[in-house]
Amino acid sequence: MIDADDLIALVRNYNPKTDADLIRAAYDYGAKMHEGQLRHSGEPYFSHPIEVAAILTEMKLDDATIATALLHDTIEDTRSTYGEIAKKFGTEVAELVDGVTKLTNLQLSSSETKQAENFRKLFFAMSKDLRVILVKLSDRLHNMRTIKSMRPDKQVQKARETMDIYAPLAGRMGMQWMRDELEDLSFRVLNPEGRNSIMRRFITLQRETGDVVQQITKDIRKELDRAGLEADVYGRAKKPYSIWRKMQEKDQGFSRLSDIYGFRVITGSEADCYGVLGAIHQRWRAVPGRFKDYISQPKSNGYRSIHTTVSGRDGKRVEVQIRTREMHEVAEAGVAAHWAYRDGQRAENPFAVDPAEWIASLTERFDSAEDHDEFLEHVKMEMYSDQVFCFTPKGEVVKMPRGATPLDFAYAIHTRIGDGCVGAKIDGIRVPLWTRLKNGQSVEIITAEGQRPQATWIDIVATGRAKAAIRRSLREEDRERFEKLGKELVRVAFEHVGKRMTDKALSTAAKHMGLTDASDLLAEVGSAEIGARQVIETLYPDLASKTGDEIDAARAVVGLPREQGFRRAPCCQPVPGERIVGITYRGKGVVIHTIDCPALEEFEDQTSRWIDLRWHSGVHKPVYDVSLELTITNDAGVLGRLCTQIGEQKANISNLQFLDRKPDFFRLIVDVELRDVEHLHAVMLALEADSDVASIDRHRDPARKVKELVKEKL
C-alpha cells in the first residue's frame, strides 16, 4: 500500500508547489475513518482510495481532486459528515466528496429504478464540477482491476454497467486510454473465452511474423529521418476488446482483420504533423476512406489528431495517429487536461476545452426530451457517437455523429429546416434522405412549404435532437387530426339528442370528466380514448338514456315529404352524422350526397334541384355500406385478423374486392355496413392501428355514380 510520502512524491513529479499538508491530512483522515474496514479481497479498505488517488496523479490533476479521491468513500461508508470534511479540508473538497457520494448512490444498472432519471442526476452532478466524474471513473477503474475478489454475479453486473455507461463516458470525455482499459477489463468478465481466443491468436501471429510493432516503428522512423522530420514514434497492438468489436462490426475472422496495430507519431509543431503525413503517404499507399483530420476539425472534447490508415509491411493495414505534444496531452487526458499540470505549472494547454462549455454542449440538446426514455436514448447516442464534419453551402461547418443523415443535418441547422425537408444534395448531387454522411461533404437541404415530418423518419435519423423534434411534430400533428375528428364526432352526438355543441358545453364536460380543457376533450374523443356518447351522458344523462329505438333506414333523412324515397349516392356513400344535400332526378327520386362531394359541381347552376336535408338525430341501424380502400401486408393470417377486427367493432363486411396483388402487399376494397360516421371512424381507427395495415382510406369513386345512375335509368 502506498504511504502518504510516496503519494505526495507522485504529485510533486508534476506539481512541485503541491499542498503537501492538505494531501497528508486527507490521507491520515481517510486512514482513520476506514480503520478496521476490509475489501472483498481481505486487504485494508483504505488501499482502494489510495489507488484511486494514484490513478488521478497519472492524469496530473490538482490537489483538491487528489484529496477528494482519498476521502471519496468517507461520507458513505464511515461516520464522517459533509460538515466535518468542509471544516477540515474546505468547501471545495467537501463539495467534490459529496458529489462523488451522490454518484455512488445512483443504482445505474438497477431494474428497479429509472435509468434515464439516474442519467439526469449523473449529468447534473457532472455539470456542477466535472472533477466529480473523474474521481468516479478512477474509482470504477480500480474496482474493475480488482474485480476478481467479488462474487461472480456481482462481477457480471459491474462489468455490464461499466461497458454500458462508464467506458463510453470516458471515451466521450476524451480519455480513450481509460475507455480501452475499462472495456477490456469488462470483456475479461463478460466473455473470457472470446478474450482468451484473441490473445492466443495474437501469440500465434507474433510467433509467425516476429515483433511486427517494432519492425513497423523502425520503418516509420526511417522515413521521417529521410524527410528530416523530428518526431517520437510509438506502436502497440490494439486491445483484445477493440479487435473483438471490429470482428463483430465487419463480420470478419481474426485472420482477415488487418488493422490490429496502431501507431502514434508525436511532433513538435502542427506544420510537422502534415509533413509526417506526407512522408507516410509517399512511402505507403493510403487506404481510401480511412483518413480523418481532427486538427482542422477538432472533436467537441478538444481532441486533435490526424488519423490515416496505410498498407504497410507485407500489406498489413496500419493505423497511424499524428499530433503535437500538446495535442497528445489532451488526447490522453481529454477534458481532464483543463486541470492538468506541466513543468510544475497549471497547464495552459490551448487545445484543452473548458469543462463548463463541454458539459453544456453535451446536455443542451437533452432539454427537449419530454420523457425519460427519450432522454436515455439521447444520452447513449451522444456518448457512443464519433463525429463527422460536413459543410453548409455557405461553407459553415456542422458537426454530426457518425451515421448521421441529411435529415440529421437539417435538424442540426434548425428544427424548421428539418420539419420542412423534402430532399438533399451532397456535393451537388441529389441523394436519398437515408444516405450516411461522410467527412468533408457539402450538404444542401431542400425544403418545401407545408411539408411535415413523416413517421418513417424516426428510423432514418441518428441523432437524439432529430428524433425528439420528429416525435414532437408527429404528436402535434396527431393531436390536430384527433381534435378535428373528435369535434365532428361530438357534433354528431349533440345533434342525436337535439342539442347544439358550444364551447361552454365542451368546457363544462371536460371539467367534469377530469380533463384540462375542451381541446383535450376533443383529442380524447378523436383518438377513441373516450366515446362521444360519454360526453352526452356527462352533460345530459336523461337525454342519453332516452334515445329510443334504432331508426329504420327508410325514415333516416329529415326534410323530405312523408312518402318521398331517397337513395345514397354511390360516389360519396354518405352515412348518418355527415352533412348532406339532396339532388332530384327527373322527379323520380332524390339522391343524397355529402356536402363536400365533388359530384355536386355539375349541379351548381341547377339550384332548383337541390334539397336541404339532414340525418335523423336518433340511433341508426348498421345498414349503410361504406367502401374502404386498404393496403395490407401479404402475410398469413393478416386478412383474417383484419376481418375479425371489423366484426369486433359490430360492423358487417358485405363485399371484398382485390385491386392489386403483390408478393409483399395486397391492395383491396372492403365494403362495410355501418351505423353512422362515428361507427365509421371507430372501424377505421381500429384498422389503422394494426401494424400490418400500411394505409387505409375511404374509397370514393365519382365514375361509380354515373354507372349506377345510368343502370337504374333515373
d(CA 431, CA 477): 27
Distance, in Å, from the CA atom of 508 to the CA atom of 492, rounded to the nearest integer, reads 18
C-alpha cell at 153: 454475479
3, 76, 225, 364: the catalytic one is 76
Q: Residue with C-alpha cell 440529421?
A: 408
* Region at 80 (left for phi over 0; alpha for psi -120 to 50; beta for the rest): beta
| Among 258, 263, 276, residue whose Cα is nearest residue 315 | 258
E strand or H helix at 427, and its extent? none
Phi, psi at 361, each rounded to 5°? -65, -30
Identify the active-site residue in 77, 161, 625, 692.
77
CB-based contacts of 63, cutoff 8 Å, min separation 6: 11, 15, 18, 19, 22, 23
**Phi, psi values for residue 659, rounded to 5°:** -95, -35
Catalytic residue flag (residue 76)? yes
Residue 234 Rama label (left phi>0; alpha psi -120 to 50; beta): beta
Per-residue cell: 80: 464522517
Taking alpha carbons only, the member of 380, 392, 583, 615 closest to residue 491 is 615
Whole-angstrom Cα distance, residue 676 to residue 658? Answer: 25
What span, in angstroms and rounded, lies between the C-alpha atoms of 714 and 707? 11
Tell me the three-class secondary structure of 554-574, residue by residue. HHCEECCCCCCCEEECCCCCC
Task: Give the residue carrying C-alpha cell 400500411.
Answer: 694
Lookup: cell for 591? 339522391
Rounded to whole angstroms, how far apart are CA atoms 354 and 346? Answer: 14
Cα–Cα dist 601/605, whole Å? 9
Q: Which residues contact 545 (CB under 8 A, 6 or more apart)?
A: none
Residue 326 backbone class (left: φ over 0; alpha: ψ -120 to 50; beta: rest)? alpha
Q: How far apart are CA 404 and CA 412, in angstroms?
A: 10
- Which DSSP state fits 671? E
Please report how many Cα atoms fall inside a 13 Å half-sphere around the Cα of residue 635, on the Cβ side: 10
629 is a catalytic site residue:
no
Q: Which residues are tagged catalytic?
A: 76-77
